[in-house]
Amino acid sequence: MRQPPTSSWCLACVILGCVTWLPATTHAQIQTLAGSGNFVADADCGSTKVCYSDCQGATGCTYEAACAKVGTNAECAITVKADGITGDAWLALGFSSDDKMGDDSVTGCKRIGGSYSVFNAFNNGKSPRELATDGSTLTSGTSKDSVVRCVFSREMAAGLSGERYDLSQSYHWMVARGSLGGSQNPTQPPATTQAPTAGGSVRADIDCGTTKFCFRDCTASGCKFQVACRVLSPQAQAQCTLSMQVGQGNVWVGWALSADQAMGNDTVIGCKSVNGAISAFNSENSSPPRLGSTEYSLESGITLDSSAFNNGVLQCTLTRPLTSAQGSRQYDLSQPWYWFIGTGALDAAANTIQYHRQDKYISPRLFDLTASP
């Protein structure tokens, strides 16, 4: 049996065990985009599925992992744009306690002569060692144009050897693909989101100050809150990860843009967790004396790329246009703004955010995403 070759892995910090699992939905057929050959993102990501991808709205995706809990199993779909890979190939999803390859639990698929099969493996350093496939079954394997997808089911519980990890715990995710009988290193994705650390603190983003603009309150043991934004070029978008200690229950975390350091006349985007389901929102902060925040329909171009709620930390990654289209109520990110981050309770019945508690923080300086971080 051929084994997947040693390869660099695409890294992500998406939490599998921190989300309240919802019933799985079916996996739609692969939809590719004319011209780029990229594929359309799974519409259930952020609602019934936990996902990691490089999906960028209208430009689509080149890789995506989407998982949902089905009974005692996790059903996962790995979809990759496999340019340059012909013939026998593999694609895999790894689970790691850190953001480096080594000591990782891996499940994936092989495509040999047009037929698909599932495999389990464990990474000893950068060398994968194949394991028995007990606890894992192939659901389907398909391809369209240069895009390959495999769907598999694996037990949530750990294997007897401990080399198949317990998926009720939190892990970094790793996505990779390559040729069987050869080696091809997947492209490192342009960003790595950071998972909450144990104990309810936020892990400091290592890209802050280099490729990302950040507003945060961090110590050596972690952060209380963090906003980390990067500009996606040439899409002219901003992708921002909001992370904050919010406690438990139905809560929200929001990121506001303001012309001054006082609340009022601000635009806000964020995410809210209602009975375990996380979704994006946008709102406006009104000026005194009627201080408050009013939600309105989510604007076109604002997407929730990933989300997690673990150990009292709510984290979400959102993408929005860098500039404001005509009629948009969101401020233009090509202009400098003060940043706010805050959290508060939700009216679960109405699914609307309520006024924030004292947990709000205001940046001491203006942020200009057209400058250098």
Write out pLDDT tens, residues 329-359.
899 999 999 999 999 887 766 667 766 555 6
The answer to whether residues 343 and 316 touch, using CB atoms and an 8 Å cutoff, is: no
Mean pLDDT is lowest, of 10-24, 124-138, 150-164, 263-277, for 10-24
Q: Which tens digit of pLDDT belongs to each residue from 91-107?
A: 999 888 877 778 889 99
Mean pLDDT is lowest, of 139-153, 187-201, 215-229, 259-273, for 187-201
Q: How far apart are the first and last CA of the chain?
A: 48
CA pair distance 141, 261, nearest whole angstrom:
53
Query: For residue 190, what pLDDT is reported?
Result: 32
Q: pLDDT tier at 300 (50, 70, 90 boundaries)? A: confident
List, in order, residues 6 or more apart from 260 with CB less than 8 Å away.
338
Give the residue with greater pLDDT, 188 vs 30: 30
Q: Which among 158, 175, 159, 2 has a CA at the least distance from the CA of 77?
A: 175
Q: Considering Cα of 184, then 109, then 94, then 320, what sign does the dihedral take?
A: positive
Mean pLDDT is lowest, of 242-246, 266-270, 347-351, for 347-351
The answer to whether residues 280 and 300 touch, using CB atoms and an 8 Å cutoff, is: no
The answer to whether residues 370 and 288 touch, using CB atoms and an 8 Å cutoff, is: no
Q: Which tens digit of pLDDT belongs to each residue from 194-223?
A: 443 334 578 888 888 888 999 999 877 778
Query: Is the predicted pLDDT of residue 16 greater than 50, yes or no?
Result: no
User: What average pLDDT does range 163-187 have in this prediction?
Assistant: 71
Query: Is the predicted pLDDT of residue 280 greater than 90, yes or no?
Result: yes
Query: For residue 355, what pLDDT is reported?
Result: 62
Q: Mean pLDDT over all residues of the chain?
A: 80
Instruction: For each of the domains in the chain, give its residue range(s) and CATH number, in order of start.
Output: 10-179 (2.60.40), 196-367 (2.60.40.1210)
Q: pLDDT tier at 140 (50, 70, 90 boundaries)? A: very high
Whats the size of the chain, residue-wise? 373
Q: Which tens digit of pLDDT belongs to each residue from 64-86?
A: 999 988 888 999 999 998 877 77
- Kindly report whether the global pTM for this prediction surpasses the value 0.85: no
The answer to whether residues 285 and 293 touch, using CB atoms and an 8 Å cutoff, is: yes
Query: For residue 82, what pLDDT is reported?
Result: 82
